[in-house]
Amino acid sequence: MIDASRSGMSPAAGDVATDFVRFCHRRRRTGWPELYDEMCAVARRGLYRGWGFAELAEHGVAFGLAEMPRLAGLVAEVARQDAARPRHTPGATSMPAPHAVDIPAERSGPWEGVAEPAAAVS
């Protein structure tokens, strides 16, 4: 988590900013500066809690040039945290790895035994 006291944000604003960046990072797993484009798109469309640029600014997320270093640092921290988390796919089960299967050479082609389509009549 980002230390809100060092960034000049209230703790609640720091939580919202981190949550917003995490929301955007999970939509498009990329780093800075590409994620900045995603964050702008999310804000423009109000995809995070229905908030646009003004609402996000009220909660400590600003997109101006002066705020870029803090926002880039937050992106790096969120990306680092997300990379450290094990990924879990809902509904996935743990299955043993499949065994290698020897396919005889005469049956190795994916279309073996499939008839060629008839030529089109014009």
Listed in sequence order, the residues at least 6 apart from 29 whose beta carbon sits closer than 8 Å to its beta carbon are 82
In whole angstroms, what is the distance from residue 117 CA to residue 76 CA?
Answer: 54
Indicate whether 67 belongs to any domain: yes
Indicate whether 39 belongs to any domain: yes
Indicate whether 26 belongs to any domain: no
Indicate whether 63 belongs to any domain: yes
Indicate whether 76 belongs to any domain: yes
- Provide the pLDDT for residue 101: 46
- Provide the pLDDT for residue 20: 96
Residue of 82, 86, 65, 63 lying closest to 17 (CA atoms): 63
Indicate whether 96 belongs to any domain: no
Domain count, the chain: 1
In whole angstroms, what is the distance from residue 81 CA to residue 112 CA?
Answer: 48
Q: What is the pLDDT of residues 56-104, one digit of tens each?
A: 999 989 999 999 999 999 999 998 988 887 766 555 554 444 454 444 5
In whole angstroms, what is the distance from residue 61 CA to residue 22 CA?
Answer: 13
Indicate whether 7 belongs to any domain: no
Domain that holds residue 65: 31-83
Indicate whether 44 belongs to any domain: yes
- Provide the pLDDT for residue 48: 97
Tell which wins on pLDDT, 61 or 106. Answer: 61
Q: What is the pLDDT of residues 10-49, one digit of tens each?
A: 445 568 999 999 999 999 988 888 999 999 999 999 999 9
